[in-house]
Amino acid sequence: MKKLFILFILFPSVLLNAQEKTTDSTKVEKLDEVLITAIRVKPDAPITHSNIDNAELRKRNLGQDLPVLLNYLPSVVTTSDAGAGVGYTGIRVRGVSAQSTNITINGIPYNDAESLGTFWVDLPDFSSSVESLQLQRGVGTSTNGAGAFGASVNILTDAISEKAYAELSNSFGSFNTRKHTLKFSTGLLNNRIEVSGRLSQIKSDGYIDRAESDLKSYFLQGAYSYGNTFIKALAFGGHEITYQAWNGIDAETLASDRTFNPSGIYTDENGAIRFYDNEVDNYKQDHYQLHWNERLSSNWRLNMGLNYTYGRGYFEQYKEEQSFTDYGLSPVEIGNETINTTDLIRRRWLDNDFYVVNSHATYTDEKFSLDFGGSYSYYSGDHFGEIIWAQFASDSSIRDRYYDGVGKKADFNLFGKTTVKLSDKWQLYGDLQIRMVNYKTDGLNSDRNIFEIDETYQFFNPKGGVNFNMDNRNSFYFSYARANREPSRSDFESDPDIDPEQLNDFELGWRYVSERLQLSLNGYYMLYNEQLVLSGAIDDVGTPIRNNGGESYRLGLELDLNFQLNDQWSLRPNISWSSNKNKETIASIDGMLVNLGKTNISFSPEIVAANALTYQPNKNLQFSFLTKYVGEQFMGNTDSPISKLDSYFVNDVNVSYEFSPGSIFNSVAITALVNNIFNEKYVSNGYYFTYDDDFSVPGVITTIEGAGYYPQATTNFLLGLTLKF
Long-range interactions of 705-709: CB distance < 8 A, separation 24+: 705/640, 705/642, 705/643, 706/250, 706/642, 707/250, 707/251, 707/635, 707/642, 707/643, 708/247, 708/248, 708/249, 708/250, 708/538, 709/248, 709/249, 709/250, 709/251, 709/254, 709/645, 709/683, 709/685
**Hey, is 330 helix, strand or coil?**
coil
Q: 32 with 16: CB under 8 angstroms? A: yes
> Distance (Å, rounded) from C-alpha 330 to C-alpha 400?
14
Collapse the DSSP code of 590 into the 3-class scheme (helix H, G, I; strand E, B; otherwise coil) and give the result: coil
Asked if 589 and 618 touch (Cβ cutoff 8 Å), the reply is no
Report how far apart the first and last C-alpha atoms of the chain are (Å, whole number): 42
549 close to 581: Cβ distance less than 8 angstroms = no
Provide the CA 251 distance to its chain's centre, in angstroms: 28
Tally the domains of the chain.
1
Specify whether the CB–CB gap between 82 and 88 falls below 8 A: yes
If 0-12 CB within 10 Å is exposed, 13-18 middle and 19+ buried, where does residue 629 land? middle
Q: Which residues on neighbouring strands pair with residue 616, listed in sequence order?
A: none
- Measured CA to CA, the distance from residue 324 to residue 319 in angstroms comes to 12
10 Å CB burial of residue 88 (0-12, 13-18, 19+) is buried
Looking at residue 4, its pLDDT comes to 37
Contact between 386 and 402 under an 8 Å Cβ cutoff? The reply is yes
Q: CATH no. for residue 240? A: 2.40.170.20
pTM, two decimal places: 0.92
What is the SS3 assignment for 246?
coil
Cβ neighbours around 296 below 10 Å, total: 12
Return left, alpha or beta for 269; rule: phi > 0 is left, psi -120 to 50 is alpha, else beta: alpha
Write the CB contacts of 275 (distance below 8 Å, at least 6 apart in sequence): 210, 261, 263, 264, 265, 266
3-state secondary structure 263-287: CCEEECCCCCEEECCCCEEEEEEEE
Distance CA 69, CA 673 (A): 12
Low-confidence ranges of the chain (pLDDT < 50): 1-29
Residue 41 pLDDT: 82
Are the C-beta atoms of residues 147 and 485 closer than 8 Å to each other?
yes
Q: Left, alpha or beta for 138 (phi > 0: left; psi -120 to 50: alpha)?
A: left
Range of the domain at 598: 3-724
Contact predicate 406/441, CB 8 Å: yes
Residue-wise DSSP of 598-665: EEEPTT--SEEEEEEEEEEEETTEEEEEEEEEE--EESSSS--GGGEEPPEEEEEEEEEEEE--SSS-
Beta-ladder partners of 211: none
d(CA 659, CA 143): 40
User: Measured between alpha carbons, how far is 173 from 718 in angstroms, rounded to an integer?
Assistant: 4
- E strands present in 205-279: 213-226, 229-243, 265-267, 273-275
In this prediction, residue 508 carries a pLDDT of 97
Q: For the CA atoms of 633, 637, 642, 643, what is the dihedral angle to 10 degrees?
A: -40
For residue 30, what pLDDT is reported?
58
Angle, CA of 283, 286 and 290, to the nearest 5°: 165
